[in-house]
Amino acid sequence: MAKGYMYILKCNDDTYYTGSTKYIERRLEEHQQGNGAIHTKKRLPVELLYYEEYDRIDHAFYREKQVQGWSRKKKEALMSGEVALLSDLAKKVFKK
Side-by-side strand order, sheet with 46-54:
16-21, 4-11, 46-54
Instruction: Tell me the whole-structure pTM to 2 decimals.
Output: 0.88
Q: What CATH number is attached to the domain comprising 8?
A: 3.40.1440.10
- Give the pLDDT confidence of 51-87 residue by residue, as tens digits: 999 999 999 999 999 999 999 999 999 999 987 777 7
Please report whether residue 60 resides in a domain. yes
The residue type of 78 is L
Please report whether residue 87 resides in a domain. no
Q: What is the pLDDT of residue 88?
A: 74
> Mutual orientation of helices 72-79 and 84-94 as an angle, nearest 10°?
170
Please report whether residue 84 resides in a domain. no
In this structure, the number of other CB atoms found within 10 A of the CB of residue 88 comes to: 12
Q: What is the pLDDT of residue 71?
A: 93
pLDDT above 60: residue 20 = yes
d(CA 78, CA 11): 18
Please report whether residue 33 resides in a domain. yes
**4, 57 contact by CB (below 8 A):** yes
Domain count, the chain: 1
